[in-house]
Each structure stands twice: as structure tokens, then as C-alpha cells.
Structure 1
């Protein structure tokens, strides 16, 4: 019985290791946002802009130039972002740095997000701003219905 359990455990470890190598082995979560398994849903790559208010911008009839500008705004906002993994080096872990990053993360994330939305909103024309308001109203109604049910 112990041999069977040991064999199954070893097999599952090997299979999961091979799967991880194939799916995410070449993934740098900070540089390769599109190819990371965390950014995939149902085996399909997710757009980096699918959720939240910013995702609604991509539902508008944006010109190629507007899309490029918004992508640049997002890319620029991520340059100075700190990640919990920044507290690790090859041979050490900075507990104080990790704690500070995690404490500041929520506040900084909200500020960065608001800044990105503000800059992207300024790129929209009047008609697109009206369309965005309509999409926001529709989302609000869906949320109300969800809570009423």
C-alpha cells in the first residue's frame, strides 16, 4: 500500500512539474504579461484590459492611435510599480521591504489606476465619452439586478 501511495505521489509531482515547465516555464511575470498562465482564461489568452473601467475603454470604437496611446499610458504606469518579489534576491529575503511593499500596494495601486484612467479619458472624443457613460450605466444596472436577485 505504501508503495502505491509513494508511486502516485511521485508521478503527480513529475507530471505537475512537466506541465509547469511547458505552460509557464518561459514566463517572466513582470515582462511577458500576455504569455503568463495567470493571464489566461479557459486556455485562451486574456486581454490585459478586460476587467474594470479601463477594460470598458476597449469596448469603444477607438482608433488605432488611441489604442496605442492608452497602451503606452498603461505601460508607463507599470514601470515604477513595486512587486512583492522585489524583496527577494538570489540568496536573501528582505522582510521589511516585503512588508512595506504589501502595505503600500493597495493605496499605490488605486492611485496608479486612477491616474491611468484620467489620462486615457482625456484621449477620448466627446462621442466616446458618451458611449463610456452608457456602458458604465449598463454595468451599474447589471450590478443592481445581481444584488436584487
Structure 2
């Protein structure tokens, strides 16, 4: 599997410059950061959460975890927990499980990004595969996704 056509086409239709970075197979954002030689704070991981009613993506940098209490306060999704792999497969059918991109808006899912991500000029993320990452300007990502900016990392 390669970068999802939906993601690639969305970026190209919006005239976004991006770089696809092939790398060794990785399963965590920290491993991806090491494999693509980028600082962990620049590599983001979208965490799929649910409160049993709806889903949301909480996006934090590689070294951090989502603080579920902070997320609940920021999103209004009380009792939110990690979604299971079946939900990942259903909501992101064109992605390998665990390699979904932070473009929840393309999949009908609201996106919450930690405010600390704004400190870097670029972000790097998996785009539906465990062996390719995408690097793009933070401002382009923010313009395309329109995430809710909150403080959600632990």
C-alpha cells in the first residue's frame, strides 16, 4: 500500500507542496521520526478516539501521548477512549491499521491538534502506509484540515 489516493489528490488539488519519504517499516511515530531523520516533535500521530457516539482524531507529536481528560474538556467528548482496530479499518478503509493520516476531515472525522504543533514550520506523518511518510508545511496542513487547536498532550 502507498500514500492514499484520497490524501494525495486532496493535497494536489489544493496546490500543496509535499514530500513523500520512503522509509523502513515502522509502527510508532517515534520509530518513523528516527527512520526519516526528523525530530520527534515534527512527526505527528493521529490518535483515533471515540465516546461511543462519535469519533475524533487527536493529533500530537511523536514523543507525547493524548491526555484523555484534557481531550474530553477540549472536545466535549466525555469518556473518550482509544478506538479499536475494527473502527480504524472501517473509517480509514484505504489505510493500513495504525497508519491513518491526520486528515480526518477527508473521512468525516473532526480533528483536534495540540497547540504545540504550531511551533514547527513542517509536519511529517504516515499517510496510510507504515513505510512512507509525508512531509509538508504546517500552515498548509492547518489551511487544509482546519483543526481545532487545543492543549491535549500528556
Task: Report TM bin, short chain.
Answer: under 0.3
TM-score normalised to structure 1 length: 0.24
* Greater fraction strand: 2
Normalising by structure 2, we get a TM-score of: 0.23
Specify the structure having the higher radius of gyration (Cα): 1
More helix by share: 1
Higher relative contact order by CA 8 Å / sep ≥ 6: 1 or 2?
2
